[in-house]
Structure 1
Amino acid sequence: MLPTSTDVLVVGAGPTGLATALTLARRGVDVTVLDQLDRPPTTSRAAVVHAYTLEVLDRIGAAVPLVAQGVRAPRFTVRDHDRVLMAVPFHRLPTRFPYALLVSQSVTEAVLTEQLSGLGVTVRRPCRLTDLRTTDDGVIARIGDHPLRARFVVGADGMRSMVRQIAGIGFAGQTSAESFVLADVRVHSHLPRDEAALFLARSGPLIWAPLPDGVVRLVAAVPQAATEPGQAYLQALLDERGPVRRPDRLTEVLWASRFRVHHRVADTYRAGPILLAGDAAHVHSPAGGQGMNLGICDAAALGAALADVLAGGPESGLDDYTARQRPMAEDVLRFAAGLTRLATHPPAGRPVRDVLLRLAGAVPPLRRRIALRLSGLAHRSSNGD
């Protein structure tokens, strides 16, 4: 049964909502988490947790169990079929986690849920938010016919956030005309199983990322994705864009989907006692694997700010959250959009692009700068770390 009151109501039990709740619960805050799905999804888009995000998760006790279930990738490569145009090293980064962790989002969610459960917090499912009404001392949320009073509400309910819509917060931006194919497959391949690769082909980019248990995540930009990408369709993408001398051979499709890229940022992350985080606040290209990572960083910052306020601190800390995280989202959006433009460069300019990438990859300071950017560690200073 749902409670009648709580300090913080978190709407959405994806990585952002769960990390927000875990940050609050570790600070002793009474938190309630709702999700409209009756069970966690077993398929998901995000497949990389970067170094800075692991540092953030380590503060709330979730990094070590997550690392134990992922693939550590000490470098990321950009390729043109068999040629490596650039290798981005993570193994020398100034962090306890000098790698990108390749792991399915569903595993990340399971680890966070288990950590929450250990603190006595369970995700209430299926629970659909239908209304929010602000009061002098917080918010009254309506979940079906059930009223729930909260001091604060966190909207971590995704791109189509009901919390954001009810709060009347704008979500400006655009939708890309290009579509993407996403699949988890098993494949016979000679590519390293501890390294993610971005293949830049004439027809468009292909991301190849190894996951645990021999699974490989494929993401490809295409003019118009197939409704149901099957084995023949995905094999054709690998043949067209992947290795040539020793080509990959796809043996099984575990699941596949398609999606379009949206580029949007919420006008504000706060409307009184209502706050946004994760995809409810920002969405962008999957290039660089920044989306879920930024959402988890939102979660840690927001959870800490809310805990401080509930402990008697000034509410201006919540405005500081917006002032810090929204510019970071705009920066990540520009970065991801730039990577997408690089990957989908018109065919006539691709030979020049490839030469420039190889030259850039030969300059150690530039390689390190790119590694810091991809890993999220470049954001340490803006977060006061």
Structure 2
Amino acid sequence: AMQKTQLKFKKAFTGFLPQREKYFKMLENFHETISLLDRIPLLKSLKEKEADEALAKRDQEEGIISFVASTSGSPTTLLEWITTQGQGQSVDALQLKCFDDLHLFDSEMFAQLDREVQEQLSLVTDDPHHMKELMGIERRLSELEKRLNEAKRITQEQNDMAQGFLNQQARLSSTQSPALILPDLCRSHQQQLQQMLDRQQRIETLQNNFKKSKQEMSTNIHQRLGWVMHIETRISKLDSDLIYHMKTLRMLECNLELLSQIKAAPQVYADMVMEAARRRLFSSRFTLWAEALVDDSKQMYLTETERRKQFTRKLGEHFLLDTLFKGFDDMPPSFATRTPPPFDTHLPEVTVDDISLLRNTVPELEEFL
């Protein structure tokens, strides 16, 4: 998982790094853009349109039939309007945050993260401390199995010898002269008891060996599990750091894109003001032209159709209509008999006075107006 995260972060950072200097240059003189935005007036038609939209939204959300919208406290400049769209965050604060984040995300920071990832991966893959594998575990288990088999064999021998004692006791009880065989039996029992004692001591030795081996293996496994937990914790933390930096980088790119649009806002604002005025002028002229065209076309159509009908009524059912002069029943097609539907009705009502106001208030925009 950490490797996948590291690859994603590397891809994102590789695409970001070549643009880093460009972003610095954009932010260097950003205060001039803020000053310019603060001098660009928000046109009356735009404020009225925004107020109407807010009124409609409030009516829809709260079910209010009508209310008088107050324009007090509404933005008067383009900067104030942009600030109201930023959920309380000022453009200055956003610029400073982006500037700090740009200083954070440099090539050295990426190299440091990459080194940490590679070091962590080397601990896992190269295993310099030989913690991934229990060395000699097969040999140790084989020896334990041999000792276990030996202990089972000795235990069986002890059981067999104990059963022999019981058998001899039964035989002694059934004999008629036990005094004759008792001395030999005692000597035999002494030897057998000594053998049982030796075997018991061997069993205890094997038992101690088992305990010692189990303790050694438990300690060894515990150390290795502790190492695994330590490595997993470091990997998890490093993966979390990579995810955090990747999210921060994405947020930085989004904020920089927003600042880039804000920097272009004065020219875009002027272009859109001019385009809105041009479109409203065009739609007005087009509508007048279309209405005149419809009137002329309709008049010509009605005049021509009525004249043809009168001519047909004048001739009546004369046989020449169906012989020499075919096609006299055709009528002209209707053309441009309806005015086109209105368009550009949602555009703000930008006037020539608005454009003059912008030119006088913000001379920097004159070349775009």
TM-score by length of 1: 0.19
Please identify which structure carries the higher strand content: 1
Kindly name which structure, 1 or 2, has the bigger radius of gyration based on alpha carbons: 2
TM-score by length of 2: 0.20
Please identify which structure carries the higher helix content: 2
